[in-house]
């Protein structure tokens, strides 16, 4: 690995991919490659293979995915399963067939069983059933993890999977229909504040516990994995600290400056009761997160305010 190594970042315009791009540029990497979805449809197997044969990347970082929260996962199960399988399978297979020796696959903590012991360890994968509200996305990501593990086992290539906890940060998706809980809360509290501090309605009971990782920390973990040859195939990426959704709502409400009422809709699903990552494996390798949740939320809200007028609504078909 050197600063001129040709590195293809799939999904370089997304929240995670753009953070990785900024991090690698800051570290002095000069040969970064990215394609928009219009330039390269990652669901198209032939197009992906042609791209690899032409560009010949030496390293691939897969930060491309169809993502969303509980509502989006429930409403569009086929897209979350099929499109994620198509994207990652095309990238992994093209990388292997074009002799890419290092591949970093990014997934999610939702790959672990709904009722697995807490905090979640890497070895809990495939030990019990998944959370029904996001199993479509989880099954696709599990397939990606196992494909990288198979290549690592059979061909000895440095294909590694990093499973982040709930990510948030600048360049996030703030659309209320398709976003995750933290950016959705930021938008809800902000719009309610502008509407004379109107009440804010939130899903569920507020009792589930969640862990959140600032996206720049995730980019730092990817850079760490890029520059090391990690001994295992699967690593959790997180802070090792969680809080209840109610505590999260209170923190975001204070950050935004909303003073109205919070109404919890108990008829809506809570999702998994708790999802805390065991991050011992990554920490023993030499990496840990640095951004506290309060600081990360402040940075995210500041970015939201600067870019609110440019944010697009995300629609699935």
Inside any domain, residue 165: yes
3-state secondary structure of 163: strand
Q: What CA–CA distances, in Å, run from 156 to 9, 84, 99, 102, 224?
A: 22, 25, 12, 10, 20
228 part of a folded domain: yes
pLDDT in tens, 199-224: 999 999 999 999 999 999 999 999 99
CATH of the domain at 164: 3.40.50.720
In a domain, residue 281? The reply is yes
Residue 1 covered by a domain: no
21 is a domain residue: yes
Q: Residue 312 — very low, low, confident or very high, per pLDDT cuts 50/70/90? A: low
- Is 197 annotated as ligand-binding? no
Among candidates 280, 192, 193, which has minimal Cα distance to 235?
A: 280
Quote the domain boundaries for residue 184.
7-310
- Domain annotation covers residue 315: no
d(CA 287, CA 304): 29
165 known member of a binding site: yes
Write the pLDDT tens digit of every residue in 47-99. Answer: 999 999 999 999 999 999 987 767 777 788 999 999 999 999 999 999 999 99
Tens of pLDDT along 271-309?
778 889 999 999 999 999 999 999 999 999 999 999 987
76 has catalytic annotation: no
Nearest-angstrom CA–CA distance, 168 and 174: 10
pLDDT digits (tens, 9 = 90+) for 152-162: 999 999 999 99
Domain assignment of residue 2, yes or no = no
Rounded mean pLDDT, 232-247: 97
Does some domain include residue 104?
yes
Angle CA 75–81–87, to nearest 5: 125
Per the annotation, does 210 bind a ligand?
yes
Q: Which residues contact 36 (CB under 8 A, 6 or more apart)?
A: 13
- Selecting among 8, 76, 112, 137, the annotated active-site residue is 137
Are 291 and 249 within 8 A, CB to CB? no
Residue-wise pLDDT for 107-157, tens only, equals: 999 899 988 999 999 999 999 999 888 899 999 999 999 999 999 999 999
pLDDT of residue 133: 83
User: Domain tally for the chain?
Assistant: 1
180 is in an annotated binding site: yes
């Amino acid at each position: 690995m050197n600063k001129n190594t040709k590195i293809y970042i799939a999904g370089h315009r997304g929240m995670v991919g753009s953070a990785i791009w900024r991090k690698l540029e800051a570290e002095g990497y000069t040969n970064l490659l990215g394609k928009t979805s219009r330039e390269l449809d990652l669901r198209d197997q032939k197009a992906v293979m042609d791209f690899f044969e032409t560009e010949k990347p030496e390293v691939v970082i897969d930060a491309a995915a169809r993502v969303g929260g509980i509502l989006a996962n429930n409403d569009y199960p086929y897209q979350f399963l099929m499109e994620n399988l198509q994207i990652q399978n095309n990238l992994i297979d093209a990388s292997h067939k074009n002799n890419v020796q290092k591949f970093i696959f990014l997934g999610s903590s939702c790959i672990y069983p709904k009722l697995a012991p807490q905090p979640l360890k890497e070895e809990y994968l495939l030990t019990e059933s998944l959370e029904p509200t996001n199993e479509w996305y989880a099954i696709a990501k599990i397939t990606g993890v196992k494909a990288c593990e198979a290549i690592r086992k059979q061909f000895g290539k440095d294909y590694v999977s990093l499973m982040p906890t709930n990510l948030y940060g600048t360049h996030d998706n703030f659309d209320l229909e398709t976003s995750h809980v933290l950016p959705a809360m930021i938008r809800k509290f902000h719009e309610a504040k502008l509407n004379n501090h109107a009440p804010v309605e939130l899903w569920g009971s507020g009792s589930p516990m969640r862990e959140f990782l600032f996206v720049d920390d995730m980019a730092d973990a990817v850079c760490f994995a890029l520059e090391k040859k990690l001994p295992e195939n699967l690593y959790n990426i997180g802070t090792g600290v969680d809080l209840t959704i109610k505590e999260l709502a209170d923190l975001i409400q204070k950050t935004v400056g909303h003073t109205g009422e919070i109404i919890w809709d108990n008829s809506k699903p809570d999702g998994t009761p708790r999802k805390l990552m065991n991050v011992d494996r990554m920490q023993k390798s030499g990496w840990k997160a640095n951004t506290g949740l309060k600081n990360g939320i402040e940075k995210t809200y500041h970015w939201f305010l600067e870019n609110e007028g440019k944010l697009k609504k995300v629609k699935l078909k």
